[in-house]
A and B are shown apart, each in its own frame.
Chain A
Amino acid sequence: MTAVLRPSPRKLAGAALVVAVVAAVAGWVLSAPERLDAQTLAALGPGDAAAGERIFHAGGCSSCHARPGAQGDARLELAGGLELKTPFGVFVAPNISQDEKDGIGSWSAEDLANAMMKGVSPAGDHLYPAFPYASYARMKPSDIGDLHAYMKTLPAVPGRAADNDLSFPFNIRRGIGLWKRLYLSSDPVVALPDGTPDAVLAGRYLVEGPGHCGECHTPRNFAGALDKARWLAGATAAEGPGVVPNITTGEGGIGDWSEEDIAYYLESGFTPDFDSVGGAMVDVQANMARLTPEDREAIAAYLKAVPPRPNGYPPRPKPAE
């Protein structure tokens, strides 16, 4: 009886093949790299290098792309080489200096914008979101035009950084196209009502866009995307031991810091509870110290307006007696 209803193995195999082909074609189409539209590209503008310096520091480019351990002016030599050891494998920050061959000296402003806002290389490949384009996607095109003009003034440094060393399936770049469909958006994370003060809006732009603060301060889901329901609530460090602090006003966070405390911390590295900046934040704070006081005040104003959340990382085990 059942033998009559059961499809033949041949038919089954045929159906499976059809499903696989449809899935493969759909996957291929859905995972295709997408570039910016003409309107966005037109908004890049001519580029103002002086204004771009501020964006360079706000964006923290040196933190990953300077040689590891570089100090002072050497932080403007963007030779790459920093390793990010993550659960997906080791990402190596590439050379983004003006070297034509090993860096991005041949990139146009349009190329830079497609990389930063769409995660697509000039050759049309997906870039890994370890490069925080999921945050940079919220940037104003004109800021990227300015950044491109500023980067043109920085030195060319020869030498390619090592390749990424990722495990399967994360080593398949095409898969990133599907990730982008789910997680890449230029919309703001925190919706702010009409009449929100300009400083808060300016802070939202700096924090959610170029500053890409959420990339470390927000927990990630199984796919490595930021969990926006726990935005800025702190996270287990993606790299190495330890945690990244909760910077909302929720429990465990910075509710007892005033806006002045936050701005002073970003300028000086000193916390109001008599501690100092540490870990990967040291380089970030050095960048923040180079912004204007108004920028730091705007960041502080925004952080105070972010919805409070409890810590996005598990409590520390009690010390053994």
Chain B
Amino acid sequence: MRKLLVAISLLAFAASAASADPISDRQAAMKERGKIVGTLSKMVKGEQDFDAALVLSSLQTLQENAEKFDVDALFPAGTETGGDTTVSPKVWEDMAGFKAAEDKYLADVKAVNAAAPADLEALKTQLAVVGQNCAACHKAFRIKKD
């Protein structure tokens, strides 16, 4: 029992420690986005057959990820540097612009979900809409470091 309590408190500590690290959290959120888009990309590239159900579930996860993405919590002052972050100082110099970019991304992901692509051609078009958001934000707010 005692051991269990210790284990639980350790786990809880680990969890709180994890959420106290916004850099890792935002990187994990971005990696999840990339993975979902990667799944969809495989179909567009023809490495995998078009699978309407998988497209739908992937897009839903992408939307949940975007809804959870809390800019204030993930990009607090003091996380401009640290860890292996590749964030650009422009996030803080233009916080309104950064938030607007995130809002546009969420709106676009929602729109794609609302009109879920029924075939490969539609998926290609919709994925390009999502991808423009990735590129626009990585152009302004990320610095490539390696």
Partner of B135, one of A272, A273, A282: A282
Judge whether B76 is part of the interface by a CB distance below 8 angstroms: no
Contact status B144-A243, CB under 8 Å: yes
If over half of B's interface residues share one DSSP class (helix, strand or loop), that class is named, otherwise mixed; here it is helix
CA distance A268 to B135 in the complex (A): 10
Contact status A276-B143, CB under 8 Å: no
Residues 127-146 of B, flagged 1 when their CB comes within 8 A of A and 0 if not, give 11001101110110011111
Judge whether B78 is part of the interface by a CB distance below 8 angstroms: no
Contact status A279-B138, CB under 8 Å: yes
Q: How many A-B residue pairs have CB under 8 A?
A: 76
Nearest chain B residue, comparing its CB with the CB of A276: B134
If over half of A's interface residues share one DSSP class (helix, strand or loop), that class is named, otherwise mixed; here it is loop
Residues 5-42 of B, flagged 1 when their CB comes within 8 A of A and 0 if not, give 00000000000000000000000000100110110010
Partner of A275, one of B34, B44, B45, B127: B34
Partner of B38, one of A242, A270, A282: A270
CA distance A260 to B41 in the complex (A): 12
Judge whether A245 is part of the interface by a CB distance below 8 angstroms: yes
Contact status B138-A319, CB under 8 Å: no
Judge whether B84 is part of the interface by a CB distance below 8 angstroms: yes
Chain B contact-residue range equals 20 to 34
Nearest chain A residue, comparing its CB with the CB of B34: A274
Shortest distance from the beta carbon of A133 to any chain B beta carbon, whole Å:
26
Taking CB atoms, residues of chain B closer than 8 Å to A282 are 135-136, 138-139
Contact status A276-B83, CB under 8 Å: no
Binding site for A on B (CB under 8 A): 31, 34-35, 37-38, 41, 44-45, 82-84, 86, 127-128, 131-132, 134-136, 138-139, 142-146
- Interface pairs (22), CB distance under 8 Å: A240-B143, A241-B143, A242-B86, A242-B145, A244-B144, A264-B45, A268-B41, A268-B131, A269-B132, A270-B37, A272-B38, A275-B34, A276-B134, A277-B134, A278-B135, A278-B142, A279-B139, A279-B143, A280-B139, A283-B139, A311-B146, A319-B84
Given contacts A269-B134, A280-B139, A282-B138, 9 further A-B contacts (CB under 8 A): A243-B144, A243-B145, A270-B37, A276-B135, A277-B135, A278-B139, A278-B142, A279-B144, A316-B84
5 A-B pairs closest in CB distance? A278-B138, A274-B34, A276-B134, A282-B139, A274-B38
